[in-house]
Amino acid sequence: MTETNVNPNGILAGKRILVTGVTMDSSIGFAVAKVAQEQGATVLISNFGRAMGITRRIAGRLPVAPPVLELDVTDEEHLAGLADAVREHVDGLDGVVHSIAYGNPETLLGGDFVGGPWPDVAQAVQVSAYSLASLSQACLPLMTSGGSVVGLTFDATVAWPSYNWMGVAKAGLESCSRYLARDLGPRGIRVNLVSAGPLKTLAAKAIAGFEQLESGWDERAPLGWDNADQTPTAKAVVALLSDFFPATTGEIVHVDGGYHAMGA
């Protein structure tokens, strides 16, 4: 793919966007970065640790190879240094995408919910929910003119097969987004989430019984559902990053083929 895929008049033209948690080219974060670039944004992406090597390689598959920042949202030094790291490439941010979640697959996903050990639960909540607040705080010095924070969730209003403590963490994420919307609104910053249907990502592969969770989704969703296509979710995120939702905050936009609205 080349720079000719970039639309200089797209809905993110002139926007500076940080997309966190980009690992594989099958990830939602990668799809968001791709669509954002195609819509005219200057994009930075992040990951940390051993995954950095993979992220740097797949960055070259985007329309424009973006800077890759190292950011572990549980590392206070990384968060404290984020603004300076971003300023090495752009002078501020107009949007931030939170595409980060983790739960120990051996203790928190599948199997026994009640037996989930607190240290692993605490880690899942910190990485998957609290990090929306810590990331937003770290980016505040870069968003002096307002902007948009968009996170990714999986409907936490019901109990799903196998999802267990990650469902609890996502419930925390959804609540966190509403409180952030309240507190960051006066600064002109919108905070919203996109609730996607099940997608075949690296994270999904770690969920024991994922096939049971996604089985029948396509038949029940009135628009149908392709669990290998991240583009509809990415487009929703990009729309929320744009100026087309200037008065929308604290919202959860479902991109699941309409599954969430069906009774049986």
Per-residue pLDDT at 5: 76
Per-residue pLDDT at 2: 41
Per-residue pLDDT at 1: 39
The highest-level CATH class for domain 3-261 is alpha beta
Contact 260, 254 (CB under 8 A): yes
Scored b (16 or more CB within 10 A) or e, 212-228 reads ebbeebeebbeeebebe
Residue ranges in the chain assigned as alpha helix (H): 28-38, 52-59, 76-87, 118-125, 131-139, 164-184, 202-205, 210-214, 217-220, 231-241
- Give the pLDDT confidence of 9-39 residue by residue, as tens digits: 999 999 999 999 999 999 999 999 999 999 9
Per-residue pLDDT at 6: 85
Per-residue pLDDT at 208: 62
Closest CA to 19 of 1, 264, 58, 50: 58
Residue 29 CA to residue 8 CA, distance in Å, equals 21
Per-residue pLDDT at 75: 98
Per-residue pLDDT at 161: 87
Per-residue pLDDT at 156: 97
Per-residue pLDDT at 3: 45
**In the chain, where the domains are located:** 3-261
Per-residue pLDDT at 201: 66
pLDDT in tens, the chain (264 residues): 344 578 989 999 999 999 999 999 999 999 999 999 999 999 999 999 999 999 999 999 999 999 999 999 999 999 999 999 999 999 999 999 999 999 999 999 988 899 999 999 999 999 999 999 999 999 999 999 999 999 999 999 999 988 999 999 999 999 999 999 999 999 999 999 999 999 986 565 666 666 766 778 888 999 999 999 999 999 999 999 999 999 999 999 999 999 999 987
How do the residues of the chain divide into helix, strand and coil, expressed in percent and rounded to 5?
Answer: 45, 15, 45
Per-residue pLDDT at 136: 98
